[in-house]
Structure 1
Amino acid sequence: MGTPLQDSVRRVTDRIRERSAKSRAAYLAKVDRAIAQGPGRGMMACGNLAHAFAACSPADKGKLADARTPNLGIVTAYNDMLSAHQPYERYPDIIREAARSVGATAQVAGGVPAMCDGVTQGQDGMDLSLFSRDLIAMSSSIALSHNVYDCAVFLGVCDKIVPGLVIAAATFGHLPAVFIPAGPMTSGISNSEKARVRQDYSKGLIGRDELLKSEMASYHGPGTCTFYGTANSNQMLMEFMGLQLPGSSFVNPGTDIRAALTQAGAKRALEITAMGNDFRPVAHILDERAVVNGIVGLNATGGSTNLLIHLLAMARAAGVIITWEDFADLSEVIPLLTRVYPNGQADVNHFHAAGGLGLVVGELLKGGLLHDDVTTVAGDGMELYTQEPRFDGDGEVSWVAGAGRSLDEEIVRHIDNPFQDKGGLKRLDGTLGTAVMKVSAVAPERHVIEAPVQVYQDQAEVKDAFEKGELHKDVIVVVRYQGPKANGMPELHSLTPMLSVLQDLGYRVALVTDGRMSGASGKVPAAIHVSPEALDGGPIARLRDGDLVRVDATGGKLEILDPSVLERSFEIPDLSASHEGLGRELFALFRQNVGPAGQGASIFEV
């Protein structure tokens, strides 16, 4: 018998279950109605079916028309501009052959957009990044609305893409679904060298040619970027929530075992349909226990702050209502077990080799910090996710016991010797609003910053002030009107090198913003996702240069020290420049209807 679940984790889970009782019941009732109707093909007219199968091979067409074997729908986020998604180009062929090998069929149901935040960082296109998540969910729904599929596989890796696909999978919760990753690119230059070059460029010590050379040596081939940002946090999440096969996240593209895992994912999706004896629809997997396991994994690995928004939206799609308070309470009891860049120098390839997610799952189970009584695509129980895949040489994958111990304690540790006793995420609350902070890479002596503010409306203004030397002092940089309603809540990743330079010069520096930071946010304390946002009249809109603010990750506080600030009037600036160009005109309805960050920044009603 395993270690009993800790009371602290159980209390948060019970709280979520009670809070979600009505929405979860309504969701499950909807799913049950869809399940009771049976496979969609059985209810279709001949004309409908003929259109659905017209382009298939004769052999596939016969199986599809007979409707006695399952048909798998492929939802793909392939494009060959994203390095993480380029490997997906050939996945449909692999998946179709895997389906045929077990007497079934597979069709590409549809493609969804996939944008690269690495390309759009600091650019106008980043204003569409967050909104792309909900658009991906809608696009996936259109793909699956043809209703000729008995199960689905979702091909996606990066920042908004996996959350959007999960929202769609939950919406079609009557269907079983397996998420299939593409894996990280092989390691390039060291993360410490990459960070050094970026800071040297910010200081003006090197030119753009040297910076570009360094970046190309880091992001150099097919696969996910190797730092532990949002894309790789997504992959962790899919394993912790039981939607992906064990140990499949961090296997490099272009390898035999990567192809075999793709085949195994497709075959597993076909095994768990209502037409077989092991029916596992998404709705039975994605419950409050799976969501809590995801939050635990995020804390234990020091994952991306973006998931504090995305997980709320993903859970709500399955009728599960979570809050930042749930994240904060779990963070108090979840130890940090990994150091992967930006909270260390290792990349995900090093982490995978040192023991990887299987070791982390095992240690958390040992500490009673994960729900083991869960349904997953692989089977019942999280113990399955301590295993790792092996390639047998005949094109098949089998799962064996994982390492069981850390092979490098500078990268991953056991639960009795964590890097820190508490998780990497903090909730801040006070007179300035509610925010979150990733503290896993922030030195303890910088967890509390009290300083005058300098207020800006965008990253370009901050860069200009930095280059003029106006920020060379103890300062809290405030960047506002960056929330979801204002301009789509872009990441402010380009601020990190500048603020890091100031911090390295000895100044006490922090960032406060109603925008987002990248999943690569690191050593500079950053109170992000401030809510209410400035456009909603939040206190952040009332700040002026020189006001004293306290950012306190130790006490969980975000305070304006002069109460009279809250009585000030404020004017909303002209935001039209961020509403036009590169398609931003088309997203006015999203800006007008998006909810607050603390509820997932979604356009969907719950």
Structure 2
Amino acid sequence: MAVTETISAVTEKIAQRSKAARRRYLDKIDAAIATAPKRKSLGCANIAHGFAACGAHDKDALRNGNAPNLAIVTAYNDMLSAHQPFETYPETIRAAARAAGGTAQVAGGVPALCDGVTQGETGMVLSLLSRDVIALSTAVALSHQMFDAAVYLGVCDKIVPGLIIGALSFGHLPAVFIPAGPMTSGLGNDEKAKIRQLYAEGKIGRAELLDAEARSYHGPGTCTFYGTANSNQMLMEIMGLHLPGSTFVNPGTPLREAITRESAKRALAITALGNDYRPIGRIYDEKAVVNGVVGLLATGGSTNHTMHLIAMAAAAGIALTWQDLAELSKAVPLLTRIYPNGKADVNHFNAAGGMGFLIRELLGAGLLHEDVSTIMGAGLSGYTKEARLGEAGELQFADATHASHDESVLRGCARPFQPTGGLNVLTGNLGLAVIKSSSIPADRHVIEAPAKVFHSQEELQAAFKAGALNQDVVAVVRFQGPKANGMPELHRLTPPLAVLQDKGFRVALVTDGRMSGASGKVPAAIHVTPEAAEGGPIAKIRDGDMIRLDAGQGTLNVLADLSTRAPVKADLAANHSGTGRELFEAFRKIASGADRGASIFEVV
């Protein structure tokens, strides 16, 4: 299947830009490949340590046999609803591995920080930086060199990108990502948003707010809105690292357990010991990266992935830029309306046709590369499928629907919700920024208003409560970038700004920080780079400066002469200690800008 001219041209630009780095990366993979398990060359004491705690069957297999051994890298903890189901996965995976003639061991765990729990608290400062800790932890888990492939148990915001970066550092190993699925639908997202806004207006109390939140986040699985966690899962499937149709199956169901068993078997089937070797470093190529970007744009996914996709690609020697995202956004239609871009949740999306329908539509329109390698084999056409249970409880794949079951949630390319993608890159005299345009009302895509400048979200909330923001306003919240304080999400700004917008004021946010993957209906120019802590132009804005944001044209400008102004400096000491923040000082110092992945690792 031929891709469109834009998809082809952007992919070729990425490939040419990445040529030298990608070659070095592939050479590293080739050097690491061995025709026999690496553990066979370990010293006797080394390998004895590696199987000392195994049962008799697994110990014998690891000691004497050539059967493949599977690493389990898990982000399990039972505080996060999305990761709690992983508690039982290792035993399921070990049993499936034995049935397939192999073995499996938990190689290591990685941290999993929940943005929902830390939102607006000091722990959120560690959130983005935790992605790179997860990558490092993954490398530690795999460093024992006991393994022929790996399965990765992770779902949420920074966890999957961190696991990908770590997995790509062991790019010669096949990798299968196993999701846990979304929780069943609770309180509707639209109702939840209304209650949050009523609380921001002081019309209801904390008890009513907590009751609504508890009815929304009520059981095991991911939050059901389309934020970073569910954007992660979409990416893993459209990039060919999940089993087809496995992404949005609820936890605790027979189908979910069958997917877990089959995922383990698939990982063992694609090692270098067999005839269908599929290392992640070769699956994760330029075409797969472009497919991921297209999926993000077509679904109006999380703005956090404007950083994560760049950092993930860099780990494979691929240089992705915001300009690439901007060019692709102009060519990719928006095909979904999932909260915060609509009222539906991911369970409704899955019921309407889900990933199989979405991939078929994008392939048919020439917007995805079909000629890619996946964990299932050659070609993305194998992902136009739904996962189902056979009569004996075995996993089967059936053709996905050819028509959406609910066009208020999911549409085909012939009748999209809008002709361009849900994310835009902004340029102008403030540098670069990102905006999630898919959830913004059409009459709010252009905002021109005077600036009100704040150095924390608490300052803005205080001004709102004091009535000082009852006007047309562009709220500028700066010193929130990677170097300033680790770039926390500023999701608590959404309710007060939404209140102002609903009062009829022209309102926007400009910040070098992040918003949630569930960025809402208020225009928000986020990830502004260079950040204020580096003396970027955002540090020169003063109260009253007119700022013009045009999401359609992709521009962000201060209508003032900044050339004669010195950047404001801020005392950031209070951001750097407590809640473990002092341990991340080195990370903040070396983190790259948001447009380069906000990463501590080398950026291509």
Q: Given the alignment of the two structures, is residue 88 of structure 1 paired with residue 86 of structure 2, yes or no?
A: yes
Tell me how far apart the structure 2 counterparts of residues 363 and 577 of structure 1 sit (CA, whole Å): 50
Superposition pairs of residues 2-81 of structure 1, within 5 angstroms: 2=1, 4-36=2-34, 38-81=36-79
Match of 1:604 in 2: 601
Q: CA deviation at 1:36?
A: 4.2
Q: Secondary structure of the equivalent of 1:20?
A: helix
User: TM-score, normalised on structure 1?
Assistant: 0.99
| Distance in 2 between residues matched to 1:451 and 1:40, nearest whole Å | 62
Provide the secondary structure at the position in 2 that maps to 1:216: helix
Letter in 1 for 2:563: L
TM-score w.r.t. structure 2 length?
0.99
CA gap of 1:506–1:265, structure 2 versus 1, over 3 A, is same
Give the letter aligned to residue 588 of structure 1: E
Partner of 1:559: 557
Q: Tell me the SS of whatever aligns to 1:179.
A: strand
Give the distance between the partners of 1:66 and 1:566, measured in 2 at CA. Answer: 71
SS of the residue aligned with 2:377? coil
- The alignment partner of 2:402 has SS state of coil
The answer (yes or no) to whether the contact 2:311–2:596 under 8 Å persists in 1 is yes
The residue number in structure 2 matching 1:572 is 569
CA contact (8 A) 2:475 2:508 kept: yes
Match of 2:408 among 398, 407, 410: 410
Aligned match of 2:147 = 149
Shift of 1:37: 7.0
Query: What is the root-mean-square deviation in Å for CA atoms of aligned residues?
Result: 0.8
Out of 224, 227, 252, the residue aligned to residue 226 of structure 1 is 224
2-structure distance, mates of 1:37, 1:593: 38
Residue 588 of structure 1 aligns with which residue? 585
What does 1:519-538 align with in structure 2 at a 5 Å threshold?
519-538=517-536
- Which of 157, 164, 167 aligns to 2:165? It is 167
Letter in 1 for 2:578: G
Moved more, 217-226 or 383-392: 383-392
Query: 1:454: which partner in 2?
Result: 452
In structure 2, the residue matched to 1:369 is 367
- Within 5 Å, which residues of 2 pair with 1:129-528? 129-528=127-526
C-alpha distance in structure 1 between counterparts of 2:130 and 2:11, whole Å: 30
AA at the equivalent of 2:517: G
Q: Distance in 1 between matches of 2:322 and 2:568?
A: 29
Tell me, in whole angstroms, the C-alpha distance in 2 between the residues paired with 1:478 and 1:140: 37
Q: Distance in 2 between matches of 1:495 and 1:67?
A: 58
Gaps of 5+ in 1: none
User: Structure 1 vs Structure 2: percent identity of aligned residues?
Assistant: 62
CA contact (8 A) 1:542 1:566 kept: no
Larger CA deviation: 76-85 vs 546-555: 546-555
Tell me the SS of whatever aligns to 1:567. coil
SS of residue matched to 1:290: helix
Distance in structure 2 (CA, Å) of the matches to 1:421 and 1:67: 56
Deviation at 1:480, TM superposition (A): 0.3
* Superposed displacement of residue 571, structure 1: 3.5
The answer as to whether partners of 1:539 and 1:566 remain within 8 angstroms in 2 is no
Maintained 8 Å contact 2:36/2:66: no
The structural deviation recorded for 1:579 is 0.5
> Could you tell me how far 1:392 is from its partner in structure 2?
1.2
Report the alpha carbon displacement of residue 96 of structure 1 after superposing the two structures with TM: 0.2
Tell me the distance in 2 between the aligned counterparts of 1:129 and 1:357.
28
Residue 283 of structure 1 deviates from its aligned partner by 1.0
Q: Measure the CA separation in 2 of the matches of 1:462 and 1:270.
A: 53
Determine if contact 2:35/2:272 at 8 Å carries over to the other structure. Answer: no
CA–CA distance in 1 between the matches of 2:342 and 2:402? 22
Instruction: Classify the secondary structure of the residue corresponding to 1:206.
Output: coil
In structure 1, C-alpha distance between the alignment counterparts of 2:18 and 2:41, rounded to whole Å: 33
Residues 475, 509 of structure 2: 8 Å contact kept: yes
Query: Are the aligned partners of 1:137 and 1:168 in contact in 2 as well (CA < 8 Å)?
Result: yes
Instruction: Point out 4+ residue stretches in structure 1 off by more than 6 angstroms.
Output: none
State the Cα distance separating 1:43 from its structure 2 match.
1.1
* 2:37/2:68 contact within 8 Å kept: no
* Distance in structure 1 (CA, Å) of the matches to 2:545 and 2:563: 11
SS at match of 1:360: helix
Aligned mates of 2:69, 2:30 — CA distance in 1: 20
Instruction: Give how far 1:24 is off.
Output: 0.2
Secondary structure of 2:111 counterpart: coil
Q: Deviations over 1:270-323 (max 9, x none)?
A: 000000110000011000000000000000000000000000000000000000
Confirm or deny: 8 A CA contact 1:42 1:67 kept in the other structure: no
The answer as to whether partners of 2:508 and 2:522 remain within 8 angstroms in 1 is yes
The letter of the residue matching 2:506 is R
SS at match of 2:461: helix
SS across alignment from 1:494:
helix
Deviation at 1:335, TM superposition (A): 0.4
How much has 1:38 moved relative to structure 2?
Answer: 4.6
**CA-to-aligned-CA distance 1:74-103 (integer Å, 9 cap, x gap):** 000000000000000000000000001111
What secondary structure is seen at the aligned counterpart in 2 of 1:119? helix
State the SS of the aligned residue for 2:526: strand
SS at the partner of 1:260? helix
d(CA) in 1 for partners of 2:220, 2:419: 36
Task: Give distance in 1, aligned partners of 2:311 and 2:286.
Answer: 13
| Residue from 121, 124, 127 that aligns with 1:123 | 121
Shift of 1:549: 0.9
Maintained 8 Å contact 1:453/1:549: yes
1:53-92 CA distances to partner (integer Å, 9 max, x unpaired)?
0000011001001241000000000000000000000000
What displacement does 1:21 show? 0.3
Letter in 1 for 2:571: D
Distance in 2, Cα, partners of 1:395 & 1:99: 18
Give the Cα–Cα distance (whole angstroms) in 1 for the partners of residues 567 and 8 of structure 2: 44
Distance 1:390 1:241 in 2: 21
Q: State the distance in 2 between where 1:434 and 1:567 align.
A: 21
The one-letter amino acid of 1:474's match is D
Per-residue Cα deviation, 1:571-597 (whole angstroms, up to 9, x for no partner): 421111110101001000001111111
SS for the counterpart of 2:527 is strand
Letter paired with 1:587: F
1:448-480 CA-to-partner distances (Å, cap 9, x unmatched) read: 111100000111001000001111110000000
CA separation in 1, counterparts of 2:47 and 2:75?
A: 26
Where does residue 113 of structure 1 map in the other structure?
A: 111
Distance 1:68 1:36, change over 3 A: closer
1:566 is paired with a residue whose SS is coil
Secondary structure, in 3 states, of the residue corresponding to 2:586? Answer: helix
Offset at residue 370 of structure 1 (A) = 0.2
Give the CA deviation at 1:433: 1.0
Whole-angstrom CA distance in 2 between matches of 1:300 and 1:38: 42
Q: Which runs of 5+ in 2 are unaligned?
A: none
